[in-house]
Amino acid sequence: MRYVEIAIPEGRRGAVLGVLDDAGINYVMSDETSGARYSSVVRFPVPTNAVEPVLDDLARVDLEDAHVVVVNAETVVSEAFDEVRDQYSASGAGGARTSRQVLRTKADEFTPALSIYLVMLLISAVVATAGLLADSPAVVVGSMVIAPLLGPALAASVGIVTGDDALRRGGFRYQVLGVSVVVLASIGLATLARLAGLEPAGVDIVLVAELEERVSPNLFSVLVALGAGVAGILSLTRGFSEAIVGVMIAAALIPPAAAVGITTAWGMNGAALGALILVTVNLLSINLAALVTLWIAGYRPQGLFEVSPTRRATMRYIAVFGVGLLVLAVPLAGLTLNDFQTTELEATAQDEVERILDDPQYNEVTNDDVTVVLDDDYPARSVERVIVVVKGFDPGPDPELSDRIYQAISEETDASFLVEVQYVVAEERGETGEERIVRTAGADG
């Protein structure tokens, strides 16, 4: 529930009391004696879902100069209040959602001062870069926890649907600035790491697992960002944990932005492009999901002259975000299809090798592993080779077996790649044994 205090401008006392009386609200009135332009102050408790309709009714009686304060109230002991609560519960006035007026304030409060915002993002960028280079999921998660992205990620959408231009501009400015700071800071730190020889994966930096998944994104990344946008708005409007949702939003933005910086520092333009696409898609998805969720929930100006302009602006931004997301979804769809084809090829190769080794002449040979290796052409990687590892007691490779494996796998696809068969020789001595790879045979597919 909420406790509302309104400083009423001179000459508007009767209009205000008329609205409160019509709503059946029990209030307390006192004179305003500070000498300001207010004549009196009225105070009253209301259910949370009644704040927005009551303030909208008051706005319709020309109270633009009124001073309104809304605070949380622990409890109210009053039969009159119980009647008001039942009245607004029965009328379906928005459930227990936060009022539009309070929503603006909350969105603004979650956006820190610019200096604090930049410092926290710099720290987050350093932690994220270190976590990606060290291939440490725990450290990467830590960078998400300290990133203050919840407010900026949602302020723009709140500003659009409520007609608050300052909030909208501030939200967009903070988002772009935040991502840019993380990218630039990551480039600087990664460059220092490279000059110092701190290259954990050798020549190919993106072999680091935490980094690899962010330089070759797919359509599932869109679902994560869309969920973050919806959850962020629900955290503001329904009182869910903002801290947890803030981590979810940061997860969609901080690590990919740091990946852009790292791959740029290593001169891997294709990988940097893939990570940049992921950052852009996530930004569009978060804003689109937040905007649509707010509009559907009814968070928009209800005044006579506010609904149509706000609706047009909202639809315009939805169109911009939607078109941008669709355009970027095309390469993501291609990457997703490539992932499916790679997985399917690996499963097919596994089945074909097992089928061949079921032949009685290969009773002493077993399938040890089948791996599909992709090239380094990020983000749209293609199959470079299929590595088949077989194990047995035969001390030498079997050209016939290699040819059969190559033919069986190559017939299942039109792509051109290398099929590499590795023979692992098992040697038994006493109660223990040992294995060694004696030869690798390959064929072009």
Same domain, 250 and 113: yes
Domain presence at residue 78: yes
pLDDT-derived band at 94, boundaries 50, 70, 90: very low
Determine the pLDDT at residue 368: 78
Determine the pLDDT at residue 67: 79
| Region at 395 (left for phi over 0; alpha for psi -120 to 50; beta for the rest) | alpha
Question: pLDDT tens digits for 228-278?
Answer: 888 877 777 766 666 777 888 888 899 999 999 998 998 888 888 888 998
Residue in the structure block whose two tokens are 């932005």: 257
Domain end, chosen from 282, 308, 334, is at 308
Domain end, chosen from 261, 292, 308, is at 308
102-111, 140-149, 263-272, 306-315: least confidently modelled range: 306-315
| Most confident option among 1-15, 164-178, 376-390 | 164-178
306 pLDDT more than 60: no
Share the mean pLDDT of the chain.
Answer: 79
Determine the pLDDT at residue 205: 66
Same domain, 250 and 396: no
DSSP string, 142-199: HHHHT---HHHHHHHHHHHHHT-HHHHHHHHHHHHHHHHHHHHHHHHHHHHHHHTT--
Determine the pLDDT at residue 290: 87
pLDDT-derived band at 98, boundaries 50, 70, 90: low
Same domain, 389 and 274: no
pLDDT-derived band at 305, boundaries 50, 70, 90: very low
Report the number of distinct structural domains present in the chain.
3
Same domain, 370 and 410: yes
Q: Is 360 exposed, middle or buried (0-12, 13-18, 19+ CB in 10 A)?
A: exposed
Domain presence at residue 322: no
State how far the Cα of 114 lies from the Cα of 170, in Å rounded to an integer.
Answer: 10
Domain presence at residue 268: yes
Regarding pTM above 0.85, the answer is: no
**Residue 390 tokens, joined:** 């077989």
pLDDT-derived band at 173, boundaries 50, 70, 90: very high
Question: pLDDT tens digits for 309-331?
Answer: 677 788 889 899 999 988 988 88
Same domain, 236 and 371: no
Q: Partners of 421 in the beta sheet?
A: 388, 441
pLDDT-derived band at 106, boundaries 50, 70, 90: confident
Domain encompassing residue 403: 343-425
Domain presence at residue 37: yes
Comparing CA positions, the residue from 215, 219, 211 lying closest to residue 331 is 219
**Residue 229 tokens, joined:** 């946008």
CATH code: domain of residue 382: 3.30.300
Same domain, 34 and 91: yes
Domain presence at residue 432: no
Question: pLDDT tens digits for 24-60?
Answer: 888 888 887 776 777 888 888 877 777 777 877 777 7
Same domain, 377 and 421: yes
CA 39-43-45 angle, to 5 degrees, is 160
Domain presence at residue 439: no
**In terms of pLDDT, which residue wins out, 110 or 259?**
259
